[in-house]
Homo-oligomer: A and B are copies of this chain.
Amino acid sequence: MKKTLQKISDNTIRRLPRYLRALCELEVAGLERVSSVALGGMLGATSSQIRQDLNCFGEFGTQGYGYGVGLLKHAIEDILGKNRRYRSVLIGAGNIGRALMENRFFEENGFEPTAVFDVLPERIGTRIGGVRVFDVRDMPRRLSQFPAEVAVLCVPKDAAQSSAEQAVKLGVRAIWNFTNADICIENARVVVENIHFSDSLMTLGYRLRERQDTANAAQQTDRSA
């Protein structure tokens, strides 16, 4: 893993998980080597793109041979920090938050959940996915005793910005934002990663409407012809 100097584009990083998924499939299938052309075929990408992407991080292949499946998989896992452990807290124990906890999402990706915070008295003191739910007012005490790197934000839209700011003030370095709000953190060293359900659904809506409309337009032309 050399050349950490050049700026690596967001596009490249977001392709790595897809490469990883393909490599896992290949590993399960018992394949030992794969060429950039073959990998590109699986993913609908050009071999050039794959080679360019990988060469941002190092030289993982061998001329005339290709890439070792296990080796490359391991390399990408390293790049994505899969073998690191990050302590994370959930803020907001609503439906989405609970679903994430109960699915063991965090554990699977190395994000160890250490606490849940909520405002509702009936939730406080219970356990979600095996993790205690604390009063959100205890967050400062709890986080200073048991620091966490990541806050998973599942609060209502209006509480998003203030919860995020509080978490950052308490030492959190990354926010996984599930609220339908854009979080704005002064400190540029804090990472914010968004899951915007509504944005995604609106994009779907756009493409549905577009296809409907072009289909209708085509029908019109047919009829008039």
A residues adjacent to B (C-beta < 8 A): 4, 13-14, 16-18, 20-21, 43, 79-82, 84, 86, 94-96, 98-100, 102-103, 105-106, 108-111, 149-150, 173-174, 176, 180-182, 189, 191, 193, 195-214
Decide: A195 near B200, CB < 8 A? Known: A99-B98, A209-B84.
yes
Q: Are B174 and A206 in contact (CB under 8 A)?
A: no
Cβ contacts under 8 Å, A111 to chain B? 201, 205
Q: In the complex the two chains form, is A189's CB within 8 Å of B211's CB?
A: yes
Stoichiometry (number of copies): 2
Q: Determine if A95 and B99 form an interchain contact, defined as CB atoms under 8 angstroms apart.
A: yes
Residues of B within 8 Å of A198, CB to CB, are 17, 105, 108-109
**Are A84 and B4 in contact, with the CB atoms below 8 A?**
no
Contact between B109 and A201, CB atoms less than 8 A apart: yes
> Do B82 and A202 touch (CB < 8 A)?
yes
Provide 19 A-B residue pairs closer than 8 Å at the C-beta atoms, listed in order of the A residue.
A4-B213, A13-B207, A16-B202, A17-B198, A20-B202, A43-B182, A80-B205, A80-B206, A81-B209, A84-B212, A86-B205, A108-B198, A150-B208, A176-B201, A189-B211, A191-B207, A191-B211, A193-B200, A195-B197
Interface on chain A toward B: helix, strand, loop, or mixed SS? helix
Please give 11 more A-B residue pairs, beta carbons under 8 A apart, in addition to A21-B181, A79-B206, A191-B207. A4-B213, A17-B199, A18-B199, A84-B205, A84-B209, A94-B99, A95-B99, A96-B96, A96-B99, A108-B198, A193-B207
Cβ B208 vs Cβ A174 within 8 A: yes
| With contact pairs A99-B95, A99-B99, A198-B109 given, residues A203 and B211 touching in the complex (Cβ less than 8 Å) | no
A10 vs B174: C-alpha distance in the bound complex, in angstroms? 27
A60 to B21, CA, bound (A): 43
- Distance to closest chain B CB from A31 (angstroms): 18
> B residues within 8 A CB of A200?
176, 193, 195
Q: Are A204 and B176 in contact (CB under 8 A)?
A: yes
